[in-house]
Structure 1
Amino acid sequence: MKIAFVINQTHKEDVNFTTTLLAWKALQLGHEVLYIGLADFYYGAHPLLGAHARHVLPSQAVPDTATLIQVLRATPKKLYALTDIDVLWLRFDPVLDMINRPWAAAAGLQFATLAQKKGIRVLNNPEALTKASNKLYLENFDDTIQPKTIVTRNSQDILQFFQEQQEKIILKPLKGSGGRNVFLINKDNAQNLKQTVEAIARDGYVIAQEYLPEAALGDIRFFLLNGKPIQVNGKYAAVHRVQQGNEIRSNLHQGAKVQEAQIDANILRTAEKVAHQLVKDGMYLVGLDIVGDKIMEINVFSPGALHHAEQMHQEDFSGAIIRDLESL
């Protein structure tokens, strides 16, 4: 197969990204890999729909993910017809371009939708991704798996919610990722509530969520593939992300550490409650962030930490994903 990964920009890709691991595994299994940046699409004639892509063949010497990054950056872009590829895999983070390239994510989804209408397999479904471009997507699911939440730009709304939640809540942007601008507001720093709301609201709406005591122990990043947990040799593709010191965020690039996730019946039941809708929406590869019996976020664009799960369990989760892709 020819598998094209749509990313933000090649120079921002990293050796530890899940996208890099999936692309490298695809090469090892004999597939061709293309990388397309959000600024690289083309519409016109010859081809009608295309992209300027970096193309890597399985015959090239790519022994590991670090070499793949080097090869990609050294490979010049060429114009390819999207109809010549088998899978267009959307693996970009809209938030990375929100400030400097606010047009990028929307344009990428529009081109991907055109490709899908031309009969090209696009993962995840771009029309559903458009609806899931912020954290309100979680509101489409079972109420029992959601923490108590309000979405507003009004500080008085949040003050009232703060009081209803025994003066302990989490504030974060409606459209965000990677733990950016996430704050714990409690009795000790309540005087900063209005200022914090105003700071987050500069970039859009604000989410206020109840504080879950279990969050002090971190969260579980749990991967689903076509609505089913990814499991190899009895081990699940999941990690327990534990924040360090006084940090409230469990994101790895905010300093959190990973340890083995204990996947019990409660987590499997929680994941099962969202599986049917995710499959219906065409969400092929998804990362759930689970705290207790609640899902804090559903990551549908470019969920990460798969390589941490592989290293921890010494299992080939990425290979299981690519082999499943071969069977579609």
Structure 2
Amino acid sequence: MLIAFFVNDMETEHPGYTTTVLAHEATRRGHRVCYITPGDFMLNPQDELHVHARFAPTKKARTASEFFKAMQSAEQDPATIDICEVDVLMLRSDPSLDAQSRPWAEGVGIIFGRAAAARGVLVLNDPDSLSLAINKLYFQSYPEAVRAETLITKFASDVKQFAKDHGGKIILKPLQGSGGQSVFLVGSENALNINQMIEAIARDGYIIAQAYVPAAAKGDIRLFLMNGRPLQIGKKFAALRRVSSKDDIRSNIHAGGTAEAVEITEKELRVAELIRPKLIADGMFLVGVDIVGEKILEVNVFSPGNLQSCSKLAGVNFATPIIAAIERKVEIAMEFTGNFDNRTLAVM
């Protein structure tokens, strides 16, 4: 099986990223792996879709770090292949990272992901649904019961009224973006700065104002869901608690947050169950859900991270069941050729 991983840029990849962990596990299980980036697609005059792919060396690496070093050396020597040679295309880029600096690249994975699916390649997550998730408005399509009360606007007066209605304590963030970029907590201590916060976000687009969930003070829980259900090995869940530093409200690990082991209770499982039908309907194979109390703050359907940290904290390798699930999908696709569309097969 050949698995192609679509990423923003080879230079910004990291040995600890979930993509690296998954790619390494795939090679460990005997599969071929390649990486492609937004500028690597080519549609020829015969309407054949080709990609300039960077292949992992055939020698198996013992660790994800060793695998990553080997991929770095392979970056300089891409090979051109027909997309039909690829069994699985995993869309692992974060479109928001390209929105400002390379707007042409923002939707490339989705555009060519659709073209690949039309040619019989299994594309995960489903590109048609990912096109709807390009900004956080997609989040509003999940059940109201699990969402914090939210306002989306560009008018400062709307935001201020929302803050007043919620006792002056709310979260502000951009409609587009990820990784905790431009996220502000409005409270009594900084209420006089709300105009500057609004201006900073509105400069680049719409503003999301969200009711503050008190449980967020203890951090949020990142829980991986696969095929619509919590990812687990035995009784161990692919999850962790992300706790923000004392001087930052953001719990994102790269923004200074720390990862801690967490026990998944019936409360989190109920939240996961409530959003499962939506994930199944949209063909979302692998997602990361951020949970606070009984609410979800975000559903990362593009490039959910922290899988390696979850594995270390639990003492198991959560990449193994993920690649095993992909193997099963490919087997089904080969046995029942043409019987299932990409969205259905993505979550089977």
TM-score range, shorter chain: over 0.9
How big is the shift at 1:61? 3.9
How big is the shift at 1:117? 1.2
DSSP-derived class of the 1:39 partner: helix
Q: TM-score, normalised by structure 1?
A: 0.98
User: Residue 162 of structure 2 aligns with which residue?
Assistant: 161
Greater mean alpha carbon deviation, residues 261-270 or residues 64-73: 64-73
User: Residue 63 of structure 1 aligns with which residue?
Assistant: 62
How big is the shift at 1:247? 1.4
User: Residue 48 of structure 2 aligns with which residue?
Assistant: 48
Q: What pairs up with 1:120-139 in 2 under 5 angstroms?
A: 120-139=121-140
Q: TM-score, normalised by structure 2?
A: 0.92
User: Residue 270 of structure 1 aligns with which residue?
Assistant: 271
On the 8 A contact 2:139/2:298 being kept in 1, the answer is yes
Q: Does 1:32 align with 2:35?
A: no
Q: What pairs up with 1:1-328 in 2 under 5 angstroms?
A: 1-45=1-45, 48-57=48-57, 59-75=58-74, 76-328=77-329
How big is the shift at 1:246? 2.7
Greater mean alpha carbon deviation, residues 188-197 or residues 303-312: 188-197
> In structure 2, how many angstroms separate the alpha carbons of the residues matched to 1:238 and 1:61?
28
Letter in 2 for 1:141: Y
Q: What count of residue pairs does the alignment treat as equivalent? A: 327
Percent of residue pairs identical: 43
Letter in 1 for 2:66: T
How big is the shift at 1:46? 6.7
> In structure 1, how many angstroms separate the alpha carbons of the residues matched to 2:179 and 2:231?
23
How big is the shift at 1:96? 1.3
Q: Which stretches in structure 1 are left out of the alignment for 5+ residues?
A: none
Letter in 2 for 1:28: R
Q: Which stretches in structure 2 are left out of the alignment for 5+ residues?
A: 330-348
> How well do the aligned residues superpose, as a CA RMSD in angstroms?
1.1
> In structure 2, how many angstroms separate the alpha carbons of the residues matched to 1:187 and 1:163?
11
DSSP-derived class of the 1:119 partner: coil
On the 8 A contact 1:153/1:201 being kept in 2, the answer is yes
How big is the shift at 1:137? 1.0
| Cα deviation 1:300-324 (Å, max 9, x = unaligned) | 0000000000011111110111011
On the 8 A contact 2:28/2:60 being kept in 1, the answer is no
On the 8 A contact 2:243/2:260 being kept in 1, the answer is yes
| Cα deviation 1:21-68 (Å, max 9, x = unaligned) | 0000000000000100111111114781011110125x3142211222
How big is the shift at 1:169? 0.4
| Cα deviation 1:168-217 (Å, max 9, x = unaligned) | 00000111111111000112211111111111111111100011110000
On the 8 A contact 2:93/2:109 being kept in 1, the answer is no
> In structure 2, how many angstroms separate the alpha carbons of the residues matched to 1:230 and 1:188?
40
On the 8 A contact 2:174/2:205 being kept in 1, the answer is yes
Q: Which runs of 4+ in 1 moved over 6 A?
A: none
On the 8 A contact 1:10/1:72 being kept in 2, the answer is no
How big is the shift at 1:153? 0.9
How big is the shift at 1:108? 2.1
| Cα deviation 1:48-93 (Å, max 9, x = unaligned) | 1011110125x31422112222211211111111100100000001
How big is the shift at 1:4? 0.2
> In structure 2, how many angstroms separate the alpha carbons of the residues matched to 1:63 and 1:242?
31
Letter in 1 for 2:188: K
Question: Do the aligned partners of residues 15 and 47 (structure 1) sit closer, same or farther apart at CA in structure 2, a change above 3 Å counting?
Answer: farther
Greater mean alpha carbon deviation, residues 64-73 or residues 147-156: 64-73
| Cα deviation 1:207-248 (Å, max 9, x = unaligned) | 000111100000000000010111102100001111111311
